């Protein structure tokens, strides 16, 4: 199975449910293929590539599609059934980077003080304490637990700095979720996800989605907060060389703080999930960058 065939087995987000107009056709792209997202007058949604229909489904505030006739099941987010939460789809951000780099950045806390200065982190609180990373064998997911980080403003609703606890889940190569300390309640955790739509190997639309316990902020405020964070991420994501995610351990230098990234890269390699990855250091684009 080559990179694109492997990638074609999954579901991908291509639009926000609340954002579609009746009797409307939108054009977008997935895995280098042009597709059309059609909403009928009746509200029925369908997706076509070269006039052929693809599978679609609605979940977690988004429309998902897959080029495969028999896609792998979409991952489960149990919190999506919790009606005490507010569900916040945030729209999309176009990023000129590999979809895999976008996911890896989402799994990283060490950049908070430098990229999200005075919001998700601040010097001198830069230390990343040891945490655990596993592969959940039954669900086949990368899981990082006991990640702790000091944050000046962990969420829109936070008024003071707190040490935030994080759990990360990567249920499929281009989707990731985090569970973090909720600033208002200590018995529950907020959920933030990024669903990544790979337009091609070097461009993606990132669809953040949140399921929060926040009864103070308006929807617009919560979206604005998440968009600000993501625009800050984009400024680094569009400036990493090479654009594709390197899977050869010789190409970049991880430390203990990067354990999640190391596990993610290994897991991608094991699955042959290399759409958006650079597999070897003999790749021309890598050699040219030296």
Partner 1 sequence: MVSFAVGLTKNLPDGRVMRSFVENHDLVIWRSVSGQLSCWLNRCPHRGMRLSHGFVRGEALACVYHGWHYGKDTACRYIPAHPDLDPPGTIKTMAFRSFDKGGIIWVNIDNKKDEPIIPNNLLSVRSLEFRCPLEMVEAEIPEFEYHSAKKGLLNLKIKKQGFGKWIIEILGQGLYMHLFLHKLPSQKCAIHALSNDNVSSEQRKDMSRLLEHLRYVSEAKYKVLAA
Rule CB under 8 A: which residues touch partner 1?
108, 110-111, 113-115, 123-124, 126-128, 235-236, 239-242, 246, 252-258, 288-290
Q: Smaller CB distance to partner 1: residue 74 or 251? A: 251
Q: What is the dihedral of CA 130, 256, 196, 55, to 10 degrees?
A: -80
Q: Smaller CB distance to partner 1: residue 70 or 288? A: 288
Nearest distance from C-beta of residue 232 to partner 1, angstroms: 10
Nearest distance from C-beta of residue 208 to Fe ion, angstroms: 11
Residue of 128, 121, 74, 98 whose CA lies nearest to 264: 98
Alpha carbon distance 49, 55 (integer Å): 11
Residue of 123, 98, 117 whose CA lies nearest to 265: 98
**What tokens were used for 205?**
């639309």
Residues 229 to 248 in contact with Fe ion, rule: CB under 5 A = 233
Residue of 86, 72, 34 whose CA lies nearest to 192: 86
Which does residue 233 bind out of partner 1, Fe ion, none, counting CB within 5 to 8 angstroms by kind? Fe ion
33-39 β-sheet, strand order: 12-16, 62-66, 52-59, 45-49, 33-39, 24-30
Which does residue 126 bind out of Fe ion, partner 1, none, counting CB within 5 to 8 angstroms by kind? partner 1
Q: Smaller CB distance to partner 1: residue 53 or 130? A: 130
Nearest distance from C-beta of residue 65 to partner 1, angstroms: 31
Contact stretch for Fe ion (CB under 5 A) within 8-16, 144-152, 175-183, 227-235: 227-235
Q: Smaller CB distance to partner 1: residue 84 or 284? A: 284
Nearest distance from C-beta of residue 271 to partner 1, angstroms: 22
**What tokens were used for 15?**
């639009």
How many residues make contact with Fe ion (CB under 5 A)?
Answer: 1
Which does residue 216 bind out of Fe ion, partner 1, none, counting CB within 5 to 8 angstroms by kind? none
Sequential DSSP letters for 38-107: EE-TTS-EEEEETTEEEEEEEETTEEEEESSSSPPPPPP-GGGG-TTSEEEE---EEESS-HHHHHHHHT
Q: Smaller CB distance to Fe ion: residue 56 or 260? A: 260
Nearest distance from C-beta of residue 267 to partner 1, angstroms: 18
Nearest distance from C-beta of residue 208 to partner 1, angstroms: 20
Which does residue 123 bind out of partner 1, Fe ion, none, counting CB within 5 to 8 angstroms by kind? partner 1
| By CB under 5 A, residue 104 contacts Fe ion | no
Omega into 74 within 30° of 0, i.e. cis?
no
Nearest distance from C-beta of residue 249 to partner 1, angstroms: 13
> Rounded to a whole number, what is the largest CA-CA distance in the chain?
56
- Cα 186–chain centre separation: 25
Contact stretch for Fe ion (CB under 5 A) within 58-66, 80-88, 216-224, 225-233: 225-233
The residues of the shown chain that bind Fe ion, judged by CB under 5 A, are 233
């Amino acid at each position: 199975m080559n990179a694109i065939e492997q990638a074609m087995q999954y579901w991908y987000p291509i639009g926000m449910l609340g954002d579609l107009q009746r009797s409307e056709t939108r054009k977008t792209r997935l895995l280098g293929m042009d597709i059309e997202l059609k909403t009928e007058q009746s509200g029925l949604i369908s997706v076509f590539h070269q006039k052929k229909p693809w599978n679609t489904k609605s979940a977690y505030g988004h429309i998902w599609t897959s080029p495969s006739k028999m896609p792998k099941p979409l991952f489960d987010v149990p919190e999506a059934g919790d009606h005490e939460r507010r569900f916040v789809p945030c729209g999309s951000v176009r990023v000129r980077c590999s979809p895999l780099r976008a996911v890896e950045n989402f799994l990283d806390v060490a950049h908070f003080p430098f990229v999200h200065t005075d919001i998700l982190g601040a010097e001198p609180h830069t230390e990343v304490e040891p945490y655990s990373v596993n592969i959940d064998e039954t669900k086949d997911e990368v899981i990082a637990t006991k990640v702790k980080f000091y944050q000046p403003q962990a969420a829109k609703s936070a008024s003071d700095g707190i040490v935030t606890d994080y759990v990360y889940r990567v249920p499929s190569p281009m989707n990731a979720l985090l569970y973090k300390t909720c600033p208002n309640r200590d018995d529950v955790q907020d959920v933030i996800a990024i669903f990544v739509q790979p337009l091609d190997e070097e461009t993606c639309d990132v669809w953040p989605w949140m399921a929060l316990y926040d009864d103070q902020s308006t929807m617009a405020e919560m979206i604005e907060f998440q968009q600000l964070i993501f625009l800050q991420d984009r400024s680094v994501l569009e400036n990493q060389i090479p654009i594709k995610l390197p899977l050869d351990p010789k190409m970049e230098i991880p430390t203990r703080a990067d354990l999640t990234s190391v596990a993610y890269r290994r897991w991608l390699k094991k699955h042959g999930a290399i759409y958006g990855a650079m597999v070897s250091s003999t790749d021309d684009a890598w050699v040219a960058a030296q």
